[in-house]
Amino acid sequence: MARVFNFSAGPATLPEEVLRQAAEEMLDWGGTGQSVMEMSHRGKDFLSIAAAAEADLRELLGVPDYYRVLFLQGGASLQFEMIPMNLLRGRATADYVNTGEWAKKAIKAARGLADVHVAATSEDRSFTYVPAQADWELSTGAAYVHYTANETIGGVEYGWVPQTGDVPLVCDMSSNIVSRPVELTRYGLIYAGAQKNIGPAGLTIVVIRDDLIGVGDPVPPAMLDYATHAKADSMYNTPPTYAIYIAGLVFKRLLATGGLAGAEQRNLAKAGLLYDYLDRSDFYANPVEPADRSRMNVPFTLADSALDADFLAGAAERGLVQLKGHRSVGGMRASLYNAMPIEGVQALVDYLTEFATAKG
């Protein structure tokens, strides 16, 4: 069967070239006579794969040498807990900005561990915008400020980096990491699950400034302490080796196709194509403030939700899959991560047009 256009929010579509290379190397990586999955994580072959993945990610994100790149497990969800455990540094309060479902989950997890102050929220308009920095009420003495760069469910994305002075800025970049250039030195810590823009599920990327490592007070249990993983070069326990290998292939491909500036151009073109169509149509609607619309996840509704099942069935017949919106919001959602080609978005727009003409 031909490959479909997969609009899943994650795990998500991966570059076909990467999958083909992985297939070619499946039984014999680099003349070793074995698959990467079968290699010892402490052997020189896998160590070279992990080192190249880290070096390439550093180059892509522009990571200075006073930051560490950690390859962890437990998803972004474990970071919701590790962040307060490590970054409170004996302080009581942490500031959070609430922009939707994922910010809420981060806040809920931190509440068990810190005195969470919600500095701003967009709940008043059903999380359809990013609260302007002028409206944030940051607390004095906060240990850090946390925000969610892209709300995967609501389809809301920051187009700017918050100013927090000397207070470390912490960002959940799960659903937009490596989709656009980033000013990394504005952050104390960024984190992301790999399963959207980077590779298979099971790998979590953390980039953390040196002065925020090993300062947990009280000291967290070993596996939850960034210092443990930094000291052991992310090999304290067995890392997700195959996921790191695929991530490395994705990073190489990004570097070869214009880095993050190239990715941003492609993502702007794809998102523009879809939003322009949605805005011209009376049949479909997207509720998000135009300036804060996500380039990665585009939620939209049909004029009549009774047509949803029909719409999805017709889409699947055309090889356009995983368009059903998140159960908490309903409607549709098209995720346009780096690996979604513009041909996929054009095929979606063609189908949207055809469906609206037939049913509108």
Contacting residues toward ligand PLP, per CB under 6 A? 10, 75-77, 102, 148, 152, 172, 174-175, 193
In the complex, what is the shortest distance from the CB of residue 100 to ligand PLP, in angstroms, rounded to a whole number? 9
The smaller minimum CB distance to ligand PLP, of residues 216 and 240, is found at 240
Question: Token match 């004996």: residue?
Answer: 90
The smaller minimum CB distance to ligand PLP, of residues 188 and 352, is found at 188
In the complex, what is the shortest distance from the CB of residue 174 to ligand PLP, in angstroms, rounded to a whole number? 4
In the complex, what is the shortest distance from the CB of residue 201 to ligand PLP, in angstroms, rounded to a whole number? 7
Return the closest-CA partner of residue 49 out of 62, 77, 63, 30: 30
Please list the alpha-helical segments (H only) found in 170-321.
226-231, 241-256, 259-280, 308-317
Measured from the Cβ of residue 134, the count of other Cβ atoms closer than 10 Å reads 6
The smaller minimum CB distance to ligand PLP, of residues 97 and 356, is found at 97
In the complex, what is the shortest distance from the CB of residue 204 to ligand PLP, in angstroms, rounded to a whole number? 7
* DSSP code string of 215-232: --SSPPPGGG-HHHHHHT
Determine contact, residues 195/201, Cβ cutoff 8 Å.
Answer: yes
Which helix (H) or strand (E) covers residue 43, if one does?
A: none
In the complex, what is the shortest distance from the CB of residue 149 to ligand PLP, in angstroms, rounded to a whole number? 8
CA 339/CA 276 separation, integer angstroms: 21
25: left (phi over 0), alpha (psi -120 to 50) or beta: alpha
Q: Which residues carry out catalysis?
A: 102, 172, 196
Determine contact, residues 171/187, Cβ cutoff 8 Å.
Answer: yes
Return the closest-CA partner of residue 94 out of 117, 63, 128, 119: 117
Determine contact, residues 102/296, Cβ cutoff 8 Å.
Answer: no
The smaller minimum CB distance to ligand PLP, of residues 91 and 326, is found at 326
The smaller minimum CB distance to ligand PLP, of residues 102 and 129, is found at 102
Determine contact, residues 329/152, Cβ cutoff 8 Å.
Answer: no
In the complex, what is the shortest distance from the CB of residue 146 to ligand PLP, in angstroms, rounded to a whole number? 11
CA 34/CA 218 separation, integer angstroms: 43
CA 30/CA 274 separation, integer angstroms: 41
**Helix (H, G, I), strand (E, B), or coil: what is residue 343?**
helix
* Cis amide bond preceding 218, omega within 30: yes
The smaller minimum CB distance to ligand PLP, of residues 75 and 287, is found at 75
Return the closest-CA partner of residue 305 out of 275, 285, 335: 285
Task: Please give the residue whose beta carbon sits closest to ligand PLP in the complex.
Answer: 75
In the complex, what is the shortest distance from the CB of residue 356 to ligand PLP, in angstroms, rounded to a whole number? 29
The smaller minimum CB distance to ligand PLP, of residues 105 and 359, is found at 105
**Helix (H, G, I), strand (E, B), or coil: what is residue 113?**
coil
The smaller minimum CB distance to ligand PLP, of residues 293 and 311, is found at 293
Return the closest-CA partner of residue 146 out of 71, 205, 88: 88
Determine contact, residues 144/113, Cβ cutoff 8 Å.
Answer: no
In the complex, what is the shortest distance from the CB of residue 206 to ligand PLP, in angstroms, rounded to a whole number? 12
